[in-house]
Chain A
Amino acid sequence: MGEWRFIIAAYTITWITLLGYGVYLVRVRKRAETLRDEAVRQLRRGDS
């Protein structure tokens, strides 16, 4: 039946969206941690 097209589309979009946001979260975290490591490095350099 044609209705399964829509059901599959719905569930696929849901998973893609949620997993996609999960991937984005990993990237954002990595970016923030890189920034922090850089900041710590700069501070250490400043102290010495």
Chain B
Amino acid sequence: MSWKSDIERVRAVAWKDLTVERHTKANFNSVAFLGALILMLFGFALGADSTALRTAAAGVLWLAVLFSGVLAFARSYQVELEGSALESLLLYPGSRWTIYAGKLIANLVFVGLMEIVIIPVALALYHLQVPDRWPTLIAVLMLGTFGFVTLGTFYAAMASRTRAREVLLPLLLFPMMVPVLLAATEASNALLNGDPMGNSGAWIRLLVAFDAIFFVASMFAFEYVIEE
């Protein structure tokens, strides 16, 4: 019985996160647009050479996701802070993991939708061709995003409640992102270039392992962090 109510709570938290009106900070349009803007700026930074762009494309795409994604995480806790709804959420007895899961899902949807918007932009700007193994590439994108959102949801629970939230979240999150970023970028890069050396499989397995480790760790640690 409590399992069902837990799932219900997860759904409720996720739904609220996605639908409630935010008064300030990042709404979806701004964040998606920022992602595209970052892609463009990197394009300028790298120069017009097509080879350079294509080589850097996977990494740049992930960086664009990272830089604009952090805004989504901060946003996730904003409403609770404004309305002190976090205390009411915590008043309900029982598992804190439902709050984590709900926010995780909401953030996954948010960042996922943003990626759907900026990927075509990346394809165009960086002269990319949709590879044969595009379903695998989509899987890599989802796995990388999951690792990112898992950690981001956790760290934002703290950072958004401090004075220096804008700088603290990236400062805490990005060093933790190195393994996921490496694996996702390498796998994406390999797949975009037709995977000549067959590396992508190894990186994908590594990515899955990282996701699992960070998901368990974040969910476990979230319990401590949301109470205080």
Question: A and B: direct contact (Cβ < 8 Å)?
Answer: no
